[in-house]
Structure 1
């Protein structure tokens, strides 16, 4: 079964135990060499089900009938085509018996028309292609056989126009492709020419339909054993305008055409980095096992944009499988790996190395610490975690972090563990001004600190800072995000950060206030961003102030 991931046609068939057993039997019978095309594969599968299965089990004719493979296929394809035309996947048994009775006058070697019920029972119990979901209904054991047989009947009936007319419908996709395979040269050229013309005739407001039809024609070429070169050129010219996608917008449009696109997506060789990233995005949006194999081809691509798209694709595929087949081969330098679930947390170690990881949600602190250690992360961000009480799990694991960000982790009541992490940069977002930071003074290596503070200052007239914040002489860069509720100055900062060289302030207020920064002349560089018009900044003229106007609520 190792061939399944590489062969999309096999993967489509292997959806239940019977079909898996049939593929294994084909594999064994052919000494490991499976048919090299979809048409050959389905033909071999039908032969095995219709003839060889009973023959090799030495089963005779318990229904009193012996029906040749050709006769069985003829009846089955007419049933399939009748079901396709009537847009049904499951039929009433009495209707199928009636159809068989109308076919039998032209097949006297099989049975008389009045024996139609017996022929139906033979096909139901012996062909391996039909089954009875209920006592009164019948369907094909796999949609592939319905499409394969129905397409052949449509070609034999010379219904080329009808096949082409349904090309824009997703449920006709495989029927069209197999019709190209079943058709003779002139029929094949006529069908593909009609597909090109139909796509060309679609209005500009229906570009998705145009793309689907032109791509379906291109995907059908694999079944065209021989074809007029002029027709092939026209089909390929239209596909070339769509594949590979040139950018994200084209990738999004191409993905709307559905799974048939996956057979046409090229490998990474010869593509620009932007095109390669767009191909990866297309496959990710379509999804499924076949898309996973496309992404696997790009796993070793060096371009940053391609690697970003691969990492982003993780949530769209089975967690462990994607990590093993794709992420384990992605170079993670310069990338942020986002973990959103316990399953992703458990599979993170399969990547081998991940210097920068973000953990989202209420994941286990011990699990996070173990994953950080396993992938050798140096930069870690934790978002929206209510289970995190302290940083002891990180400290006790021997983890060495240089950059830690904690966003909306309200349960932390002990920061002493940071003393053992070797941190150079720490960012705390969503810390209330009224909360103390127990153990925070234990840090000895910190150079950069970011604080996003909630609530107003406990000390009127000063910038809001967490209560009891200790002096941290090692910090040379400070970024503060605060909401001001009264006239304020910044005189308090020198006592807390005596060696500060760079200060970045983000100020916001609902009421008109004045922030006096004249006391910051001792800081080498001060940059201020003000949201809205309520905050007035005064102080040294060397201070850079930039105003940001928030977007208005459209409601």
Structure 2
């Protein structure tokens, strides 16, 4: 099968990503010769896939044949899962973007990653309970915390000038008031944990321009006020329940230009609500819908781009020529 994998010449980015992913999943020495062909690929998405599958190859060989070249290309995310991989990455030296996944202790992370180099860190670490070991990382600009099941406070992030903070699956962080430790930082993008409740802390971040809600409990009218009061906010991720709540309460978010709607556990969404709530949006992404009727979008005065991913589409022909529809996947239906 490896002999049948093409490229990289003549492949678009999507096909190149899938080809690399296929070879990585097969793994082993034979797959390595395929991946070497892609290590200098101009697409960061392709290079990131190479950086995510170190664990399927001999650590030293993969470091010399692939990881070293990725780091030389710059801005490539490398995943480390073992002390050996972390030590090898430390010796290679020129990293900036690292994902730590696995049972690595804070002390190992601290000794393995140079605070002068690290710019973007994704921490997928169930046993981390305290972030104080990140204190010296004053060049850190993006932090993604995922599956840190016992982490209950962000207070240790005080003084780190983050621009992006992503919080995913942090069940002990229902109270997000410790975010105030980052008040005064240039935070522009915040992904809230789904169990967040009181959103008053958002008032501390007037520089926010991108926010992800997608909470697992209803957003109160008072909490919506904290969202709508953010002066720079123009990009919003929300779920279908939050959209329905906004529409039923007559709340209009007139500053939003980019909207991402996640349709969870339901086959479709009523896009009339999107039109009513976001009168100034220019871009709309709809995730995980099985079917969408696009007819309501035809009357939107500002909309320029719609991405529906793999949804089956109804009435796509009603969209005016000025709206660019990105809809890969199954054939569309205009019935």
Q: TM-score, normalised by structure 2?
A: 0.63
Check whether the contact 1:422–1:445 (CA below 8 A) recurs between aligned residues: yes
- Counterparts of 2:174 and 2:3, CA distance in 1: 56
Does 2:243 match 1:505?
A: no
Q: Which has the higher contact order (CA 8 A, sep 6+)?
A: 2
Q: CA deviation at 1:393?
A: 0.7
Structure 1 counterpart of 2:81: 340
Q: Does 1:541 align with 2:273?
A: no
Q: Which has the higher helix share?
A: 1
Whole-Å Cα distance in 2 between the matches of residues 530 and 279 of structure 1? 28
Cα distance in 2 between the residues matched to 1:472 and 1:525: 22
Contact 1:512-1:534 within 8 A present in 2 as well: no
Whole-Å separation in 1 of the counterparts to 2:103 and 2:213:
25
Aligned equivalent of 2:132, options 378, 392, 395: 392
The question of whether the paired residues in 2 share the 8 Å contact of 1:473 and 1:497 is answered with: no
Check if 1:448 corresponds to 2:188. yes
Matched, 1:481 2:213: yes
CA distance in 1, matches of 2:36, 2:173: 53
Partner residue of 1:103? Answer: none
Flag structure 2 segments of 5+ consecutive residues without an equivalent: 292-335
Give the drift of 1:490: 7.0
1:156-201 deviation digits (Å, cap 9, x = unpaired): xxxxxxxxxxxxxxxxxxxxxxxxxxxxxxxxxxxxxxxxxxxxxx
Q: Tell me how far 1:309 sits from its aligned partner.
A: 5.9
Asked if structure 2 preserves the Cα contact closer than 8 Å seen for 1:529 and 1:548, the reply is yes
The structure number with the bigger radius of gyration is 1
Distance 2:166 2:211 in 1: 9
Q: What is the root-mean-square deviation of aligned Cα atoms in Å?
A: 4.3
Contact 2:40 2:73 in 1 (8 A): no
Cα contact 1:503–1:527 (8 A) shared by 2: yes
Report Cα offsets for 1:51-71 as digits up to 9, x if no partner: xxxxxxxxxxxxxxxxxxxxx
Matched, 1:272 2:15: no
Q: How many angstroms apart in 2 are the aligned matches of 1:388 and 1:497? A: 34
Cα distance in structure 1, aligned partners of 2:246 and 2:20: 52
Instruction: Indicate conservation of the 8 Å contact 2:53/2:79, yes or no.
Output: no
Stretches of structure 1 lacking an aligned partner (at least 5 in a row): 1-207, 209-241, 248-270, 456-463
Shift, 1:501, TM fit: 3.0
2:90 corresponds in structure 1 to: 349
User: Cα deviation per residue 1:482-526 (whole Å; 9 max; x = unaligned)?
Assistant: 2465586476444795433313132134997554463534x3536
Task: Tell me how many residue pairs correspond in the alignment.
Answer: 275
Deviation at 1:401, TM superposition (A): 0.5
2:163 equivalent among 424, 441, 444: 424
> Is 2:63 the counterpart of 1:323?
yes
Assess if the C-alpha contact under 8 Å between 1:426 and 1:446 holds in 2.
no
Look up the match of 1:287.
28
Q: CA–CA distance in 2 between the matches of 1:283 and 1:407?
A: 23
How far did 1:480 drift?
A: 2.1
2:6 to 246, 254, 270: 246
Q: Deviation of residue 409 (structure 1)?
A: 1.6
Indicate yes or no: 2:169 matched with 1:436: no
SS, match of residue 527 in structure 1: strand
Query: 1:148-297 residue pairs with structure 2 within 5 A?
Result: 245-247=5-7, 272=9, 285=26, 287-288=28-29, 294=33
Q: Does 1:404 pair with 2:143? A: yes
Go from structure 1 to structure 2 and tell me whether the alpha carbon gap of 1:439 and 1:379 turns closer, same or farther (over 3 Å shift). Answer: same
**Contact conserved, 2:168 with 2:193, CA < 8 A, in 1?**
yes
Summarize the Cα distance change of 1:438–1:372 in structure 2 as closer, same or farther, 3 Å threshold. Answer: farther
Report the TM-score, using the length of structure 1 for normalisation.
Answer: 0.41
Aligned in 2, Cα 1:448/1:504: closer, same or farther, shift over 3 Å? same
Distance 1:378 1:534, change over 3 A: same
SS of 2:112's partner is helix
SS at match of 1:368: helix
